[in-house]
Amino acid sequence: MNTEPLKLIVLTGSDRPEVHAAWQDLRPDLDETNGIEVVGQFSRTEEISGAVHADIVVVLGGDGSILRGCRQLGRYQLPIVGINLGRLGFLAHLTPEEFRGNLEILRSREYEVAECLMFECMHAFVDGGSETECGLNDVTITSASSLRMVDVSLEIDGQPVTTFSCDGLIISTPVGSTAHNLSAGGPILRQDLQAFCVTPICPHTLTVRPIVDTADRIFSLAVGRARDGAMLVIDGQIRREIAAGDRIVVRRAASTFKQVRFPSHSYYSTLHRKLGWRGQLDYRERKGQ
Protein backbone atom coordinates (compact mmCIF):
# COMPACT_ATOMS: atom_id res chain seq x y z
CA MET A 1 0.00 0.00 0.00
CA ASN A 2 1.33 3.44 -0.96
CA THR A 3 1.63 5.55 2.21
CA GLU A 4 3.06 8.63 0.50
CA PRO A 5 0.74 11.68 0.38
CA LEU A 6 -1.13 12.06 -2.90
CA LYS A 7 0.53 14.96 -4.71
CA LEU A 8 -1.84 17.41 -6.40
CA ILE A 9 -1.50 20.30 -8.79
CA VAL A 10 -4.49 22.64 -8.61
CA LEU A 11 -5.36 24.59 -11.73
CA THR A 12 -7.78 27.48 -11.38
CA GLY A 13 -8.79 27.54 -15.03
CA SER A 14 -10.87 30.71 -14.91
CA ASP A 15 -10.55 34.25 -13.57
CA ARG A 16 -14.14 34.24 -12.33
CA PRO A 17 -14.51 35.19 -8.65
CA GLU A 18 -16.55 32.05 -7.91
CA VAL A 19 -13.64 29.87 -9.04
CA HIS A 20 -11.24 31.54 -6.62
CA ALA A 21 -13.89 31.39 -3.87
CA ALA A 22 -14.33 27.64 -4.49
CA TRP A 23 -10.56 27.12 -4.25
CA GLN A 24 -10.38 28.97 -0.92
CA ASP A 25 -13.27 26.88 0.37
CA LEU A 26 -11.68 23.62 -0.79
CA ARG A 27 -8.11 24.37 0.29
CA PRO A 28 -8.44 23.31 3.97
CA ASP A 29 -9.49 19.79 2.88
CA LEU A 30 -6.29 19.34 0.88
CA ASP A 31 -3.45 19.04 3.35
CA GLU A 32 -0.91 16.47 4.46
CA THR A 33 -2.86 15.57 7.61
CA ASN A 34 -5.49 14.20 5.20
CA GLY A 35 -2.88 12.38 3.13
CA ILE A 36 -2.84 14.98 0.36
CA GLU A 37 -0.09 17.42 -0.60
CA VAL A 38 -0.70 20.38 -2.91
CA VAL A 39 2.60 20.79 -4.75
CA GLY A 40 1.53 23.60 -7.07
CA GLN A 41 -1.30 25.99 -7.82
CA PHE A 42 -1.42 27.59 -11.26
CA SER A 43 -3.59 30.12 -13.05
CA ARG A 44 -4.95 29.74 -16.58
CA THR A 45 -1.97 31.54 -18.14
CA GLU A 46 0.95 29.79 -16.45
CA GLU A 47 3.03 27.10 -18.12
CA ILE A 48 2.97 23.89 -16.07
CA SER A 49 4.48 21.45 -18.57
CA GLY A 50 6.97 19.36 -16.58
CA ALA A 51 7.21 22.05 -13.91
CA VAL A 52 6.59 19.85 -10.88
CA HIS A 53 6.03 16.19 -10.11
CA ALA A 54 2.45 15.32 -9.17
CA ASP A 55 0.05 12.38 -9.18
CA ILE A 56 -3.00 14.20 -10.46
CA VAL A 57 -4.21 17.64 -11.53
CA VAL A 58 -7.40 19.11 -10.06
CA VAL A 59 -9.04 21.63 -12.40
CA LEU A 60 -11.58 24.09 -11.04
CA GLY A 61 -13.85 25.61 -13.69
CA GLY A 62 -15.63 23.90 -16.56
CA ASP A 63 -14.89 21.88 -19.66
CA GLY A 64 -13.14 24.87 -21.23
CA SER A 65 -10.79 25.00 -18.25
CA ILE A 66 -9.87 21.35 -18.80
CA LEU A 67 -9.22 21.96 -22.52
CA ARG A 68 -6.93 24.84 -21.58
CA GLY A 69 -5.28 22.76 -18.87
CA CYS A 70 -4.43 20.02 -21.38
CA ARG A 71 -2.58 22.58 -23.48
CA GLN A 72 -0.78 23.91 -20.41
CA LEU A 73 0.42 20.40 -19.58
CA GLY A 74 1.67 19.93 -23.14
CA ARG A 75 3.47 16.63 -23.68
CA TYR A 76 3.53 15.92 -19.94
CA GLN A 77 -0.12 14.95 -19.48
CA LEU A 78 -1.14 13.99 -15.94
CA PRO A 79 -4.41 12.43 -14.76
CA ILE A 80 -7.03 15.18 -14.45
CA VAL A 81 -10.09 15.40 -12.23
CA GLY A 82 -12.45 18.28 -12.97
CA ILE A 83 -14.63 20.18 -10.50
CA ASN A 84 -17.48 21.74 -12.42
CA LEU A 85 -18.11 25.42 -11.72
CA GLY A 86 -19.37 26.04 -15.25
CA ARG A 87 -22.53 24.95 -17.06
CA LEU A 88 -22.63 21.60 -18.87
CA GLY A 89 -19.59 19.78 -17.52
CA PHE A 90 -19.01 16.61 -19.55
CA LEU A 91 -15.35 16.53 -18.50
CA ALA A 92 -15.54 18.54 -15.28
CA HIS A 93 -18.49 16.52 -14.02
CA LEU A 94 -17.98 16.61 -10.24
CA THR A 95 -19.52 19.20 -7.94
CA PRO A 96 -17.29 20.44 -5.08
CA GLU A 97 -19.36 18.28 -2.71
CA GLU A 98 -18.91 15.18 -4.88
CA PHE A 99 -15.16 15.85 -5.04
CA ARG A 100 -15.00 15.96 -1.23
CA GLY A 101 -16.96 12.72 -1.12
CA ASN A 102 -14.26 11.04 -3.23
CA LEU A 103 -11.23 12.28 -1.26
CA GLU A 104 -10.74 8.92 0.47
CA ILE A 105 -10.69 7.17 -2.92
CA LEU A 106 -8.07 9.66 -4.09
CA ARG A 107 -5.96 9.19 -0.96
CA SER A 108 -6.05 5.40 -1.26
CA ARG A 109 -5.45 5.65 -5.03
CA GLU A 110 -8.46 3.46 -5.79
CA TYR A 111 -9.49 5.57 -8.78
CA GLU A 112 -9.01 4.53 -12.40
CA VAL A 113 -7.36 6.54 -15.17
CA ALA A 114 -8.96 6.42 -18.63
CA GLU A 115 -6.73 7.43 -21.54
CA CYS A 116 -8.51 9.32 -24.31
CA LEU A 117 -7.44 10.42 -27.77
CA MET A 118 -5.85 13.82 -28.30
CA PHE A 119 -4.94 15.34 -31.66
CA GLU A 120 -2.13 17.30 -33.25
CA CYS A 121 -3.17 19.98 -35.72
CA MET A 122 -0.63 21.47 -38.11
CA HIS A 123 -1.56 24.63 -40.01
CA ALA A 124 0.76 24.73 -43.04
CA PHE A 125 0.74 28.20 -44.58
CA VAL A 126 0.90 28.79 -48.31
CA ASP A 127 4.15 30.76 -47.81
CA GLY A 128 5.90 27.68 -46.38
CA GLY A 129 5.62 28.33 -42.65
CA SER A 130 3.59 26.26 -40.21
CA GLU A 131 2.23 26.20 -36.67
CA THR A 132 1.25 23.12 -34.68
CA GLU A 133 -1.12 22.83 -31.72
CA CYS A 134 -2.33 19.92 -29.61
CA GLY A 135 -5.95 19.67 -28.59
CA LEU A 136 -8.59 17.45 -27.05
CA ASN A 137 -11.98 18.29 -28.57
CA ASP A 138 -12.03 19.33 -32.19
CA VAL A 139 -10.61 21.14 -35.19
CA THR A 140 -13.08 23.28 -37.14
CA ILE A 141 -12.83 25.13 -40.42
CA THR A 142 -15.61 27.69 -40.54
CA SER A 143 -16.82 30.41 -42.83
CA ALA A 144 -17.05 32.57 -39.69
CA SER A 145 -18.08 36.14 -40.49
CA SER A 146 -18.13 35.72 -44.28
CA LEU A 147 -21.76 34.43 -44.17
CA ARG A 148 -20.97 32.29 -47.22
CA MET A 149 -20.32 28.61 -47.70
CA VAL A 150 -16.77 27.32 -47.90
CA ASP A 151 -15.48 24.47 -50.07
CA VAL A 152 -13.34 22.21 -47.88
CA SER A 153 -11.42 19.38 -49.58
CA LEU A 154 -10.72 16.32 -47.46
CA GLU A 155 -8.01 13.70 -47.93
CA ILE A 156 -7.53 10.72 -45.61
CA ASP A 157 -4.09 9.11 -45.73
CA GLY A 158 -3.45 10.97 -48.99
CA GLN A 159 -6.58 9.63 -50.69
CA PRO A 160 -9.13 12.22 -51.87
CA VAL A 161 -12.50 11.78 -50.15
CA THR A 162 -14.68 14.69 -51.30
CA THR A 163 -15.06 18.46 -51.25
CA PHE A 164 -17.65 19.64 -48.78
CA SER A 165 -19.65 22.77 -49.67
CA CYS A 166 -20.82 23.80 -46.24
CA ASP A 167 -20.77 26.40 -43.49
CA GLY A 168 -17.83 24.57 -41.93
CA LEU A 169 -16.24 21.21 -41.22
CA ILE A 170 -15.44 19.60 -37.85
CA ILE A 171 -12.89 16.90 -37.10
CA SER A 172 -13.70 15.66 -33.61
CA THR A 173 -12.25 13.24 -31.10
CA PRO A 174 -14.61 11.02 -29.09
CA VAL A 175 -14.24 13.40 -26.14
CA GLY A 176 -15.25 16.27 -28.43
CA SER A 177 -18.16 14.37 -29.96
CA THR A 178 -20.55 15.83 -27.37
CA ALA A 179 -19.45 19.40 -28.13
CA HIS A 180 -19.71 21.24 -31.49
CA ASN A 181 -19.92 17.91 -33.32
CA LEU A 182 -23.15 17.02 -31.51
CA SER A 183 -24.69 20.42 -32.26
CA ALA A 184 -23.90 19.91 -35.96
CA GLY A 185 -25.69 16.53 -36.04
CA GLY A 186 -22.65 14.31 -35.59
CA PRO A 187 -22.67 11.03 -33.63
CA ILE A 188 -21.83 10.57 -29.96
CA LEU A 189 -18.70 8.42 -29.57
CA ARG A 190 -17.71 6.72 -26.35
CA GLN A 191 -14.80 8.70 -24.89
CA ASP A 192 -12.25 5.87 -24.90
CA LEU A 193 -12.74 4.97 -28.57
CA GLN A 194 -9.75 5.47 -30.85
CA ALA A 195 -11.44 7.24 -33.75
CA PHE A 196 -12.05 10.61 -35.36
CA CYS A 197 -15.37 11.91 -36.64
CA VAL A 198 -15.65 14.24 -39.65
CA THR A 199 -18.88 16.25 -39.55
CA PRO A 200 -19.91 18.94 -42.07
CA ILE A 201 -21.86 21.93 -40.79
CA CYS A 202 -24.99 22.58 -42.87
CA PRO A 203 -23.72 20.81 -46.01
CA HIS A 204 -25.24 21.94 -49.31
CA THR A 205 -25.58 18.31 -50.49
CA LEU A 206 -28.05 16.30 -48.44
CA THR A 207 -26.31 12.99 -49.15
CA VAL A 208 -23.21 14.16 -47.28
CA ARG A 209 -23.11 12.62 -43.81
CA PRO A 210 -20.58 12.40 -40.95
CA ILE A 211 -17.67 9.98 -41.36
CA VAL A 212 -16.09 7.98 -38.54
CA ASP A 213 -12.61 6.58 -39.14
CA THR A 214 -9.81 5.09 -37.07
CA ALA A 215 -7.48 7.42 -35.19
CA ASP A 216 -4.48 6.01 -37.06
CA ARG A 217 -5.46 7.97 -40.20
CA ILE A 218 -4.06 11.35 -41.24
CA PHE A 219 -6.71 13.90 -42.18
CA SER A 220 -5.74 16.71 -44.55
CA LEU A 221 -8.01 19.70 -45.22
CA ALA A 222 -7.71 22.56 -47.71
CA VAL A 223 -9.92 25.48 -48.65
CA GLY A 224 -9.60 26.20 -52.35
CA ARG A 225 -11.17 29.64 -52.28
CA ALA A 226 -10.77 30.96 -48.76
CA ARG A 227 -13.10 33.93 -48.46
CA ASP A 228 -12.42 36.76 -46.05
CA GLY A 229 -13.27 35.54 -42.57
CA ALA A 230 -12.57 31.81 -43.10
CA MET A 231 -11.10 30.53 -39.85
CA LEU A 232 -9.35 27.58 -38.29
CA VAL A 233 -10.65 27.01 -34.74
CA ILE A 234 -8.98 24.58 -32.32
CA ASP A 235 -10.96 23.49 -29.26
CA GLY A 236 -13.07 26.63 -29.59
CA GLN A 237 -10.20 28.63 -28.05
CA ILE A 238 -7.50 29.09 -30.71
CA ARG A 239 -8.50 30.97 -33.88
CA ARG A 240 -6.46 31.61 -37.00
CA GLU A 241 -7.38 32.98 -40.41
CA ILE A 242 -7.08 30.61 -43.38
CA ALA A 243 -5.78 31.70 -46.76
CA ALA A 244 -6.25 29.95 -50.11
CA GLY A 245 -3.52 27.32 -50.43
CA ASP A 246 -3.17 26.71 -46.69
CA ARG A 247 -3.40 23.11 -45.54
CA ILE A 248 -4.64 21.75 -42.23
CA VAL A 249 -3.32 18.34 -41.14
CA VAL A 250 -4.90 16.51 -38.20
CA ARG A 251 -3.48 13.33 -36.68
CA ARG A 252 -3.29 11.42 -33.41
CA ALA A 253 -1.12 13.15 -30.80
CA ALA A 254 1.60 11.21 -29.00
CA SER A 255 0.08 12.24 -25.65
CA THR A 256 -3.32 11.16 -24.34
CA PHE A 257 -5.86 12.88 -22.13
CA LYS A 258 -5.84 11.09 -18.80
CA GLN A 259 -9.17 11.32 -17.00
CA VAL A 260 -9.55 10.30 -13.36
CA ARG A 261 -12.63 8.11 -12.92
CA PHE A 262 -14.17 6.98 -9.67
CA PRO A 263 -16.02 3.67 -9.13
CA SER A 264 -19.37 5.47 -9.33
CA HIS A 265 -18.58 6.87 -12.80
CA SER A 266 -20.91 5.91 -15.65
CA TYR A 267 -20.54 7.45 -19.09
CA TYR A 268 -24.15 6.79 -20.03
CA SER A 269 -25.37 8.15 -16.71
CA THR A 270 -23.44 11.33 -17.51
CA LEU A 271 -25.09 11.53 -20.92
CA HIS A 272 -28.48 10.97 -19.32
CA ARG A 273 -27.95 13.82 -16.84
CA LYS A 274 -26.18 16.32 -19.07
CA LEU A 275 -28.32 15.85 -22.19
CA GLY A 276 -31.59 15.60 -20.37
CA TRP A 277 -32.43 12.11 -21.62
CA ARG A 278 -35.63 11.01 -19.94
CA GLY A 279 -36.20 7.63 -21.57
CA GLN A 280 -38.99 6.75 -23.97
CA LEU A 281 -41.85 9.08 -24.79
CA ASP A 282 -45.24 8.07 -23.42
CA TYR A 283 -47.47 7.57 -26.47
CA ARG A 284 -50.38 6.13 -24.49
CA GLU A 285 -53.58 8.13 -24.37
CA ARG A 286 -54.10 9.94 -21.12
CA LYS A 287 -57.44 10.02 -19.46
CA GLY A 288 -59.28 13.27 -19.97
CA GLN A 289 -57.28 14.15 -23.10
Q: Which of 67, 47, 65, 188 is closest to 119 using CA atoms?
A: 67
Annotated catalytic residue within 63, 138, 167, 246:
63
d(CA 57, CA 47): 14
d(CA 52, CA 261): 23
d(CA 68, CA 61): 11
Is 138 an active-site residue?
no
Residues annotated catalytic, as ranges: 63
